[in-house]
Amino acid sequence: MSRRIIFHIDVNSAYLSWEAVHRLQHGDPLDLRTVPSVVGGDPVTRHGIVLTKSIPAKKYNIQTGESIFSASAKCPGLVIVPPNYSLYMQCSKAFGDILREYSSLIEQYSIDEYFVDFSNMERLYKDPVEAAYIIKDRIKNELGFTVNVGVSTNKILAKMASELKKPDKVHTIFPDEIASKMWVLPIEELFMVGRATAKKLRSRAISTIGDLANYDPKLIKLFLMSHGMLVWNYANGIECSPVRENRRPLIKGIGNSTTIAFDVEDKVTAHLVLLSLTETVAARLRQSGYCARLVSVSLRTNEFYNCSHQRKILSPIDCTNAIHEVACELFDELWKGEPIRHLGVRVSELCQNDFRQISLFEKDYEKQRTVDRVVDSIRQRYGNGSVFRSAFLNSGVRFSTGGTVDDEEYPMMSSLL
């Protein structure tokens, strides 16, 4: 029986690459990947955060997660592009469709990365590394963006391999290469070692992955408990979870929020902003094939006071109007009249939407759901702005708002990758 072969395939600067390719295909002469640029927030008001950055932007020490205002201060000529999540979902699907031509076992780990079980493929591809180059180059030639491919015998080593030198590379970390390729890396480079864990490890003179791998696991467990054993195993390349086929994204919750360019001081405008946010959230909920049982609303005043409110729903919903009605009720209960600068809508406690049982005492949104599906199909074919509600005309509020996304579509891998 042949050894197990796993690929981890990760898009380089995914959102920015997808934006760049989309714009080039539509006649834009500027390749965003070649200039200091970021995706995130509003390029006019400079509100929101950096979701991803180009390689030239790294020279200005621009960090993912920092504010657009701060990034612009570091690089006055920075190109800022607002996010387009429907485009990113389409690119992710096209990326996955190519991978499914090479293996029947594909696991989508995040919007821009997949695991591929390439075991037992010797009859088709004698050399898995050569196959990895074929896949990488095909994605580049057909879809226009680059990926890194990590090749190994399990998911953790494949993922660590794909994180080595970027972009547009194929790397291996097989068991006999762990010492030379992985142990020399700083401890922060190990998957599942965050800032707090790294600080604790460095306080005990564990500064590289090799230091951790060769440390006494009993002592690691004493001060890091079960998480210590997890990262110790990862440092030694020990991980055996299978590649799980998941055609449907693994979603815990979907949310969207925006920092508003002006102070919202009346309920009508606030409800309109909530509708704009709900449009995006509900569309992504339907696209993923889920309904929600919990709706949450958050707000921040102009004096930076934050508060939130949530409500459980008797029957799961994915209808834009239904989610918006609940969001408005929550807002009305939450708001005390202060000027508002930030609003957010989030849905969670998700279930599949292929069957719904409504009660006798609640509103039937089935006709509205049909309208939503038609609108979704029109927007997918002709663009997000091809159809929108008349309420947004001359309102000063965009029909689809959101600078940052509370995106839990692909949650962090736990002890099982």
42 is in an annotated binding site: no
Do 141 and 269 share a domain, yes or no? no
- Supply 128's token pair: 């898995």
Do 388 and 265 share a domain, yes or no? yes
Do 73 and 123 share a domain, yes or no? yes
Do 315 and 167 share a domain, yes or no? no
Q: Kindly give, in sequence order, each residue whose CB lies less than 8 Å from that of residue 325, ignoring residues fewer than 6 positions away.
A: none
Stated as kind and residue range, the H or E segment containing 171 is strand 170-172
- State how beta strands 37-39 and 79-81 pair: parallel
pLDDT of residue 408: 40
Specify if 198 maps to a domain.
Answer: yes
Q: Domain of 190?
A: 183-236
pLDDT of residue 44: 60
10 is in an annotated binding site: yes
Annotated catalytic residue 113: yes
Residue located via tokens 């759901």 = 369
Single out the residue in 174, 200, 219 at which a domain terminates. Answer: 174
Q: How far apart are CA 148 and CA 140, in angstroms?
A: 11
pLDDT of residue 142: 92
Do 167 and 189 share a domain, yes or no? no
pLDDT of residue 122: 76
DSSP string, 188-200: GGSTT--HHHHHH
Do 151 and 30 share a domain, yes or no? yes
Angle between helices 320-334 and 267-287 (to 10 degrees): 140
Do 222 and 135 share a domain, yes or no? no
The CA–CA distances, whole Å, from 66 to 245, 303, 319, 334, 410 equal 34, 20, 33, 28, 21
pLDDT of residue 414: 36
pLDDT of residue 360: 55
Specify if 416 maps to a domain.
Answer: no
- Give the total number of structural domains in the chain: 3
Q: pLDDT means per 10 residues in the chain (417 residues)? A: 85 91 90 91 68 89 85 90 83 91 89 90 86 95 94 95 92 95 95 90 94 93 90 94 71 80 85 90 85 90 85 86 92 90 88 62 73 84 77 75 43 39
Write down the catalytic residue from 113, 239, 279, 409. Answer: 113
Q: How far apart are CA 139 and CA 97, in angstroms?
A: 10
